[in-house]
Structure 1
Amino acid sequence: MTQRTGAVDVEQLPWPGLDVTGLRILVAGFGVSGYAVADQTMQRGARVLVVDGADTPENRERAQVLEVLGVEVRLGQTETSALPQDRDIDLVVTSPGWRPSQPLLAEAREQGIPVWSEVELARRMQAPDGPAWLGITGTNGKTTTVTMLETILRAAGLRAVACGNVGLPVIEAALDPEGYDVLAIELSSFQLHWTQHLQCESAAVLNVSDDHLDWHGSAQEYARAKGTIYEGVQRACVYATADDTTRHLVERADVLEGARAIGITLGAPGPSELGIVDGMLIDRAFLADRRRQALQLTEPGDLDHLGPHGAPPHILLDALAAAALARSHGVEPAAVQAGLRAYRIAQHRAEHLATIDGVHWIDDTKATNPAAARASLAASDQIVWIAGGDLKGADVDELVSAAAPRLIGAILLGVDTTAFEQALSRHAPTLPVIRVDPGQTGDVENRTRLMRNAVQAAHELAVPGSTVLLAPAAASVDQFRDYAERGDLFAAAVTELPGERA
């Protein structure tokens, strides 16, 4: 390791309430979190340099704002290939998407310069009496759960906000001048990789299935990153009892004395669990006599608005996780019920768009991997499935095998639909399958045409009582700008359909 001279040993500076005055900070990446780090640390006296490989008009415009305040911004690929040669650096704060092998980050580690996430910096800078952290991660369901939790906390009268991988950057929420009571924090595996001291009050890993393996290098390393959220937990580690991986992550976690493992299950809960009985959420974890008593958190029908046929199983698990985290913070059952009653599914996440001539149209474009799509496909009985896109090496055979009995038709998007076609041929050989000719998708007009054709093909296969489900099980980048555009174009095409709307 190269020895540095004159550098501040940032790792040894006291925290919480880390004083960044005079620190020489390099912010790697000029996205939402990078901008927030530069802004928050500059305000507190740090000497900040931002680098980003994208020399775009948007980045140049944002750079001008910070440069007026004394932050230096350098854009272009050469700026991210190595550490700057004209200045010393005490700390690198990286955007979550930067891989560990990225040359600048690798050089920083070789020179003994700490590389932190924005989340790690926020944890250290937050005051000792700052807001409690309730953390949520998982391959699927993070955003639904964290926004459910936010709604419950607010129903309890707490000043709370969903932040992290959704909404505000954590550093903005943690250092908010008015002060939050509690943060509901969504964390990706990328963010967790660069974070060492989360110390959440309570945390949940919703599920773990293979994803981002090209970034993490292996399924084991991906799971390990997810499990980081449990390190230092003070009150409750929430896990799914049916998921061996999440249970093992809890078992291996180094938590504070007295922290408890809290299970969530779609069945009747045992002691120290939350579960479902006769359509109601039941708590047998956060009450004095949990071995012989239980608390009812909802009434039958309270969650029926979360799906065209009531809340599907994966949404119920999200609700249980949100309820468990809220209860661990001391939220009363009435506030849990009020929050879940008030909650509405976010756009593009199993969103019920319309019922036309008895056919339900569901937008789950956020199902960008097979595990996410499997949850949506399990929620209905007769499905015209709109699927396809960039699989990034994922296997869809198990997904198609499980879904086949529920399918009445499949509409395939994507530049390469081979994997879907082969799996459908094996597991549903008589199923009507329509591949939408991709044509040219380099502009919005052609992407709009593509989705209109897909919706029209699905409309022709659907029957009253069935569901047309956009749950692609793949990324969107081969044909669309992003998953949100894919969902927006789907919703727009559905609005153009004729028929009686329920």
Structure 2
Amino acid sequence: MSTRDWQGKHVTVAGLGVSGIPAARVLHGLGAVVTVVNDGDDAGARAQAAQLEAEGIAVRLGDGATLPEGTGLVVTAPGWKPDKPLFTAAADAGVEVWGDVELAWRLRGLDGREAAPWLAVTGTNGKTTTVRMLASILEAAGLRTAAVGNIGVSLLDAVLGEDKYDVLAVELSSYQLHWAPSLRAHSAAVLNLAPDHLDWHGSMAAYAADKGRIYEGNTVACVYNAADPATEDLVREADVVEGCRAIGFTLGAPGPSQLGVVDGILVDRAFVENRQKHAQELAEVSDVNPPAPHNIANALAAAALARAFGVAPAAVRDGLRAFRPDAHRIEHVADVAGVAYVDDSKATNTHAAEASLAAYDPIVWIAGGLAKGAEFDELVRVSAQRLRAVVLMGADRVLVAEALARHAPEVPVVDIDRTDTGAMAAAVREAAGLAQPGDTVLLAPACASMDMFTNYNERGEAFADAVRTLAAEHA
């Protein structure tokens, strides 16, 4: 596209916030006539609106349902549900709806500028960690790159800014993929699929279909999880460029066209000359931080995408060694009286919690929060043998308690019946009383945090603070 394409084009931006405001400013800067519509009309929204209006951008607060007259394109924040009246009106008027990712994709070659290829990652869990691992590997290979999308640098900044990139490591949510119909990545990975955000997508089939959009038009590799057949099914269904390959990753020994693990070594049987007989050593399991099973899977997916881009084996090793995980993702906080305390507050759904619980044994598990419609029977059933005890807190803790009663009735359960700021400290103390030397006290809530905390970060900080207080008392 060129700047001329945007001159005088009437664009409606749906939603203020981290994606809507930058999109409005970019479009205004390109010469479009921009109107921002927003459902909310609170003090924060009014302050944001005042800033945009001072820049010449029209804003309508409290009216996110009406399509402004003359609209030729709608650019939406990813969280706006597809059944919003605004989008029905757009469809009736023959007006396209793009997300911020679609906008960035369309603008990446604006006015003939060099467009960096995208290595894209989605999945129910592990996206951020995998993208950051991938960026670390690409940097170790000497490539100019950035982790973008849901994390790091804004996608619009990455494609329009002054910094020039050789390749971008892109995290994409199911929401973003839903609104990105023309995205065509160099290579992409779906890490896993488990029920999540079904209230937004309407069904598991629709959720999976939106995740699968990431494979459409891939040119080199579609990376899938060999332990999750649903991800391979999405590869089979994708319309890709001729010659694009299906590349699996597995925690076991890899077959041809797979990456996997042999005797503590991450190996590649996909991007080698004779993949029927040969494998290339990439790194050791000990190079992955932390070396929990699901994190090793993340590392293999990142390595597969990097190898698809031509990165040398040594850069995979060096990038994994240099990587440091974000806070509240299976983060070891302290050892107190022979017990390890691990913060995985980011485990906000059952799939993530199951992966976290699989990394430790025996465990005193701290769980609970907002269930978001989740069921806990399968999680408890597969994890029961690892549980020393469970401490429950949060609005929907009874749902976890009921699953424990059905599938692990012998496991002691402590109920924290309070929602004040001291609840987490109480949970940690109860867990400490139940744990024995060699155990792990694991915060892996399997639930969202907003019943008691602003977000999972605040919940994780409350856990870490309580653990540090406990450690100081034992010093």
Per the TM superposition, whether the score is higher than 0.5 is yes
Identify the residue that residue 459 of structure 2 maps to in structure 1. Answer: 486
Identify the residue that residue 380 of structure 2 maps to in structure 1. Answer: 400
User: In the alignment, which of 287, 291, 297 is matched to residue 302 of structure 1?
Assistant: 287
User: In the alignment, which of 225, 228, 238 is matched to residue 213 of structure 2?
Assistant: 228
Contact 2:367 2:397 in 1 (8 A): no
Distance (Å, rounded) in 2 between the aligned partners of 1:418 and 1:16: 56
Identify the residue that residue 25 of structure 2 maps to in structure 1. Answer: 39
Distance (Å, rounded) in 1 between the aligned partners of 2:102 and 2:474: 49
- Determine if the alignment matches structure 1 residue 117 to structure 2 residue 114: no
Aligned-pair distance for 1:427?
Answer: 1.8
Structure 1 residues 102-181: aligned runs within 5 Å = 102-127=84-109, 129-181=114-166
Aligned-pair distance for 1:247?
Answer: 0.6
Distance (Å, rounded) in 2 between the aligned partners of 1:428 and 1:341: 38
Aligned-pair distance for 1:46?
Answer: 1.3
Q: Percent identity?
A: 54
Change in Cα spacing, 1:137 to 1:126, as seen in structure 2 (3 Å) is: same
Distance (Å, rounded) in 1 between the aligned partners of 2:328 and 2:97: 34
Letter in 2 for 1:455: V
Identify the residue that residue 57 of structure 2 maps to in structure 1. Answer: 71
The ranges of structure 1 where at least 4 consecutive aligned residues each deviate by more than 6 angstroms after the TM superposition are none
Contact 2:260 2:300 in 1 (8 A): yes
3-state DSSP of counterpart to 2:333: strand
Distance (Å, rounded) in 1 between the aligned partners of 2:474 and 2:148: 36
Change in Cα spacing, 1:151 to 1:56, as seen in structure 2 (3 Å) is: farther
Aligned-pair distance for 1:60?
Answer: 3.0
Letter in 2 for 1:167: G
Distance (Å, rounded) in 1 between the aligned partners of 2:187 and 2:300: 14
Structure 1 residues 171-320: aligned runs within 5 Å = 171-299=156-284, 301-303=286-288, 306-307=289-290, 311-320=291-300
Contact 2:371 2:396 in 1 (8 A): no
Change in Cα spacing, 1:454 to 1:18, as seen in structure 2 (3 Å) is: farther
Distance (Å, rounded) in 1 between the aligned partners of 2:431 and 2:375: 24
Contact 1:357 1:500 in 2 (8 A): no
Aligned-pair distance for 1:501?
Answer: 8.5
Identify the residue that residue 34 of structure 2 maps to in structure 1. Answer: 48
- Determine if the alignment matches structure 1 residue 92 to structure 2 residue 74: yes
Structure 1 residues 319-330: aligned runs within 5 Å = 319-330=299-310
Identify the residue that residue 367 of structure 2 maps to in structure 1. Answer: 387
3-state DSSP of counterpart to 1:35: helix
Q: Which has the higher mean CA deviation after the structures are superposed, 254-263 or 358-367? A: 358-367
Identify the residue that residue 64 of structure 2 maps to in structure 1. Answer: 80
User: In the alignment, which of 305, 321, 324 is matched to residue 341 of structure 1?
Assistant: 321
Contact 1:16 1:124 in 2 (8 A): no
Aligned Cα root-mean-square deviation (Å) = 1.7
Aligned-pair distance for 1:21?
Answer: 2.3
Identify the residue that residue 10 of structure 1 maps to in structure 2. Answer: none
Aligned-pair distance for 1:436?
Answer: 0.4
Residues 285-320 of structure 1, C-alpha deviation per residue, up to 9 Å, x if partnerless?
1122222221111135222xx23xxx1110000000
Distance (Å, rounded) in 2 between the aligned partners of 1:219 and 1:18: 41
TM-score for both structures, normalised by structure 2: 0.96
Distance (Å, rounded) in 1 between the aligned partners of 2:405 and 2:337: 30
Distance (Å, rounded) in 2 between the aligned partners of 1:19 and 1:136: 30
Identify the residue that residue 365 of structure 1 maps to in structure 2. Answer: 345
TM-score for both structures, normalised by structure 1: 0.91
Distance (Å, rounded) in 2 between the aligned partners of 1:36 and 1:349: 29
Contact 2:339 2:438 in 1 (8 A): yes
Residues 319-370 of structure 1, C-alpha deviation per residue, up to 9 Å, x if partnerless?
0000000111111111111110011111111111112222111111111111
Distance (Å, rounded) in 2 between the aligned partners of 1:250 and 1:18: 37
Q: Which has the higher mean CA deviation after the structures are superposed, 450-459 or 49-58? A: 49-58
Contact 2:285 2:296 in 1 (8 A): no
Unaligned 5+ runs, structure 2 = none
Change in Cα spacing, 1:155 to 1:64, as seen in structure 2 (3 Å) is: farther
Aligned-pair distance for 1:19?
Answer: 3.4
Change in Cα spacing, 1:299 to 1:316, as seen in structure 2 (3 Å) is: closer
Aligned-pair distance for 1:203?
Answer: 0.1
Change in Cα spacing, 1:276 to 1:112, as seen in structure 2 (3 Å) is: same
Q: How many residues align?
A: 472
Letter in 1 for 2:245: R
Distance (Å, rounded) in 2 between the aligned partners of 1:473 and 1:104: 34
Aligned-pair distance for 1:166?
Answer: 1.7
Aligned-pair distance for 1:500?
Answer: 8.6
Contact 1:237 1:259 in 2 (8 A): yes
